[in-house]
Amino acid sequence: MDRPRFKINNSSIIVFSLVLVSSFIFLVIKFYQAALSDATSYHQHLQSEMAKSATASINYYLEHLGDDLQFLVQIGASDIENLKIASQLRTEGVNSWFTTDEHFRITHSWGDSLSSRVGEELQQLHLKVSSASSISGSGYRILFSQVYPFNQDSQEAPFHFLVLFIPKARATTNIEGALDIGTLGLLLNFDWLMDKFVKPLKLGEDDFAWVMDNTGRLIYHPRHEEMLLHNIRDDEAECGDCHESFDIQEQMLVKGSGKAKYFIEGEPEKIMAYEPIVNSGLKWVLAISTYSPSVVRNVIQNSIAILVLSGGFLVLLILTGISLYYLNLKRVLADEAKKRVSQVQHIQEKLDQATKLASLGELIDSVAHEINTPTGIISAVADGLTLDDKLGQETQKEMQIIKKQVHRIKDYTRHLLGYSRVMPFAPELNDILDLIDECLFLVGPRLKGKQVEVISELPDQWPHFIFDRPRLEQVIINLLNNAIDFVETQGTITLRLESRKEQTSEGAANWNILSIQDNGTGIQATEMSRIFEPFVSNKPGAKGTGLGLSISKSIVERHGGRLEVTSTPGEGAIFSIYLLVDKS
């Protein structure tokens, strides 16, 4: 038994190609999203580690600066010159040194000259100390001022901030010339601190660090110097041009450390990690940011080889699909051409058979005449012999049998001549029951040969109505022959005649319906839609031309009627001839 072949049609190739391309695009998008997410997380992790390293370095520097201040107070409490000399040991990043009294008023200073801004900041620190609790048990306290451009009243000047050391007990001695030091302070260069510990932090060309203090002021930003000293809580119109909100920055002040994404008008989206710088009341937040497109670019560069290989594989699959499409197209075209050739050959064979049948119909006329001549002579001789009184009774009976069979031959040839004669379409008043009897007479030999029983459910009388007798005879004989072909030996054929009234859009219509039912093999559902097409035959072998039902349907429709069929496979078929009686 042959296995069923899987046929690839053009639609399946197109659908497969679309599914393939869609799946590839979906996988590329998912791969890109996963790679971008991993790259973003990894980049933020590196940013966080770098920020932690920088904040640890700044805290270490500030803690040791506090230790140095404590040491300087101890060795220089009795002599300002000793203090000045000792302070030279710590000059990196320090612009000026000074001492104050208990009210934070400057008593001595050395190094760069101090601006009036220093005094203002000292008084702010004095207020803070006055309102705060006593100094802890560590023995001293370190205070930090806000970051400002101290040397000049301009934001373009280098930024500095004050570091102030407050001892637990101010030093007082009985030594002549001894100092009563309230605090020891210094002016630290903030820009130097950023250049030393923050500016070198770079993961790539698009990375940059920025710093915000605990009040929400931006105190360091290499790419937005025009926004320095602006506060996120001032709600300035200038800030609103770029920032829809400062929720991320507020979150930074609250959490101190973390990771985030943010967007500024006119710039690409950014990712960042941030860590706090906390030391004795000092609290800054150091953030390291980078542009998201930079991360995307790195992802693409790292994934380009995979994408190229995947794209090449996809192109190969598409080319394979196109090749299969055209190969399949050629196969389909070849199959169609072969099918058309087969159809042409099949139609030609049917036409040849129809031609033979037409020639046979022409021969019937001459054959019938040839048969009628000797049968006429036989009939005349039999009539003459019947008149001879010398013949015995048995001979007379035999002569009657001969005459009866001669008349039967003559009737049969007469019906054949009528059936084969080409006549114009001429509907007239006819008897349908007489026509059915004549058709049964003509197919009688086939019925007897196959032992088919004809069950007549016809009425004894039926009103005459108008139809073309020869052509309707052709239809009935064709349907009877088909029924004989499809029933088994000793099968049955049932004839019914009924009238029906139907309501149509044109009015009421009266129909005479002749039904021919057999108990044969029936008609398959796949063949029902094509059963009335020309040259379509479901008879076994090469039997039939495939024109009978098509011609019969045309004849019935020419009468204004219709030919219908119902069938159950394995149980037989019913052909119904609807003939229009009249319309009212």
3 state DSSP class of 168: coil
Residue 444: both structure tokens together: 């009688």
Cα–Cα distance, 563 to 578 (Å, whole number): 6
Give pLDDT, residue 168.
64
Give me the count of residues in the chain.
Answer: 584
Cβ atoms within 10 A of the Cβ of 28, count?
16
**Beta strands of 295-390 (E only): which ranges?**
none
pLDDT in tens, 195-206: 888 888 776 777
Give pLDDT, residue 496.
95
Give pLDDT, residue 174.
39
Q: Which amino acid is at 469?
A: R
Taking 3-state DSSP, the helix, strand and coil percentages for the chain, each rounded to the nearest 5, stand at 50, 20, 30
6-10, 63-67, 204-208: least confident range: 6-10
Give pLDDT, residue 2.
43
39-43, 70-74, 566-570: least confident range: 70-74
Please answer whether residues 66 and 165 qualify as being in contact, where contact means their C-beta atoms are separated by less than 8 angstroms.
Answer: yes
**Tokens 């309102």 identify what position?**
131
pLDDT in tens, 144-153: 888 988 755 5
Please answer whether residues 222 and 210 qualify as being in contact, where contact means their C-beta atoms are separated by less than 8 angstroms.
Answer: yes
Give pLDDT, residue 584.
45
pLDDT in tens, 290-303: 888 877 777 777 77
Give pLDDT, residue 566.
93
Give pLDDT, residue 451.
92
Q: Region 130-140: what's the mean pLDDT?
A: 53
Helix (H) or strand (E) holding 479: helix 469-486
Please answer whether residues 473 and 419 qualify as being in contact, where contact means their C-beta atoms are separated by less than 8 angstroms.
Answer: yes
Output phi, psi for 180, to 5 deg: -100, 95
Q: What is the mean pLDDT of the chain?
A: 79
Q: Region 353-368: what's the mean pLDDT?
A: 63
The Cβ-side half-sphere exposure at 440, using a 13 Å CA radius, reads: 16
CA angle at residue 199 from 197 to 202, to 5 degrees?
A: 110
3 state DSSP class of 75: helix
**Per-domain boundaries in the chain:** 1-234+246-316, 427-583
Give pLDDT, residue 540.
60
DSSP string computed for 352-371: HHHHHHHHHHHHHHHHHHHH
Q: Percentage of residues in the chain with pLDDT exceeding 90?
A: 16
Cα–Cα distance, 336 to 330 (Å, whole number): 10
Cα–Cα distance, 274 to 288 (Å, whole number): 6
pLDDT in tens, 467-490: 998 889 889 988 999 999 889 888
pLDDT at 3 over 50: no
Higher pLDDT, 119 or 267: 119
427-583: CATH architecture: 2-Layer Sandwich (3.30)
Q: Percentage of residues in the chain with pLDDT exceeding 70?
A: 79
Q: Region 572-584: what's the mean pLDDT?
A: 84
- DSSP label at residue 227: G
Q: Region 314-338: what's the mean pLDDT?
A: 80
Q: Output Rg (C-alpha) for the chain, integer angstroms.
A: 58
Please answer whether residues 220 and 214 qualify as being in contact, where contact means their C-beta atoms are separated by less than 8 angstroms.
Answer: no
pLDDT at 457 over 90: yes
pLDDT at 465 over 90: yes
CA distances from 302 to 39, 94, 106, 204 (A): 10, 45, 60, 15
Cα–Cα distance, 417 to 436 (Å, whole number): 17
Give pLDDT, residue 563.
93
Helix (H) or strand (E) holding 503: strand 492-504
pLDDT in tens, 527-541: 888 888 876 776 665
CA distances from 38 to 258, 260, 261, 297 (A): 17, 15, 15, 14
Give pLDDT, residue 171.
38
Higher pLDDT, 5 or 154: 154
Nearest to 382 by CA among 397, 370, 369: 397
CA distances from 243 to 58, 145, 235, 248, 433 (A): 29, 28, 10, 11, 101
Give pLDDT, residue 124.
86
CA distances from 493 to 132, 145, 340, 488, 496 (A): 121, 118, 38, 11, 10
pLDDT in tens, 243-258: 677 888 888 888 888 9
Higher pLDDT, 364 or 340: 340
Cα–Cα distance, 220 to 229 (Å, whole number): 8
